[in-house]
Amino acid sequence: MPATSLINLLPQEKGEQIYTLCRHPLRHYTEAFIRQRYDEDYGARISHFCSRLMVSVFEGEIQSAIGFELAQHRQLFLEQYFSQPVEQVIAHKCNLPTTRGQIVEVGNLASQSHGALRRFILILGQYFIQQHLQWVVFTAIPSLLHTFEKFQIPLYELGEARPDALGEEAGNWGSYYKKSPKVVAAHLGTGMAKLRSNAMLAKLVDAQPTPLFLGQ
C-alpha cells in the first residue's frame, strides 16, 4: 500500500513508531496487512481480528502487527480448543492460580521479518507488564516457539490447537494447522525478569519505542 496513504493518517514522527489501535482509520490498513501475510504464509483467509491491534510503522510502511484480547472482557479465540475457561487451564497446567483479569491473549501475528517480530515481542512484554497483566496466552507454530527459546523465556504448554475445534472455519486457515501449532502460556513477570537478566536484552527492551494509543 502506498506510504503516503498511511503518513496522512498518523502523527508526524521520525523513525519507527508503535501504535495501539481500537477504532482508527489505520486499523483498516493493519487488518489488510495481517490478511495479506496470512494468505502469503499459509494460504489462509482469516476473518477474526482481536479488538485491539498493535502495529509497527516505519516511514509510512507497516512492518509488523499483532492483536490482543483481554480475557476479562470476552471469550478468547483460543478457548475454543479447551473444554474449560483459560484461567482454569492455566491453574491446572501451571499449578498457579489466576483470574481472567490477569490474562491477555495474543493473536493476528504478522511481520515482514523475523527481526521485526522479535522486537515486537519485547515491546508487548513491557506493555503488558505496565498494564498489570500476569499471563499471556497464544497459539504458536514451531518457528514462533523457537523465538521464545532464543530469548530463554519459559513457556507452559497448555494443549494442542486442533482445527476440528473451529468447525467449518478451519477450512479458511490454509496450511496453518499443518505446522502443528500449540497453545502456550508465559508468565509475564518471570519472562521479563529473564530478559532483563541478560544485559544485552535489557538494553534492547529499554530501547524500544513506547506504544501510542490511537482511536477509541
State the helix-helix crossing angle for 142-151 and 114-130, rounded to 10 degrees: 70
Look up the pTM and report it: 0.91
Q: For position 138, what pLDDT does the model report?
A: 98
**Residue 185 falls in which region: left (phi positive, over 0), alpha (psi -120 to 50) or beta:** beta
Q: For position 115, what pLDDT does the model report?
A: 81
Q: Do 185 and 159 meet the contact criterion of CB atoms below 8 Å apart?
A: no
- The set of cell numbers assigned to 108 is 493476528
CA–CA gap between residue 64 and residue 56 (Å, rounded): 5
Work out how many domains the chain is built from and give that number.
1
What's the CATH number where 12 sits?
Answer: 3.40.630.30
CA–CA gap between residue 21 and residue 67 (Å, rounded): 9
- The set of cell numbers assigned to 159 is 494443549
pLDDT per residue rounded down to tens, the chain (216 residues)? 444 456 566 666 667 888 998 888 889 999 999 999 999 999 999 999 999 999 998 888 899 999 999 999 999 999 999 999 999 999 999 999 999 999 999 999 999 888 888 888 888 999 999 999 999 999 999 999 999 998 999 999 999 999 999 999 999 999 999 999 999 999 999 999 999 999 998 998 888 888 888 865
Q: Containing domain of residue 111, as a range?
A: 3-214
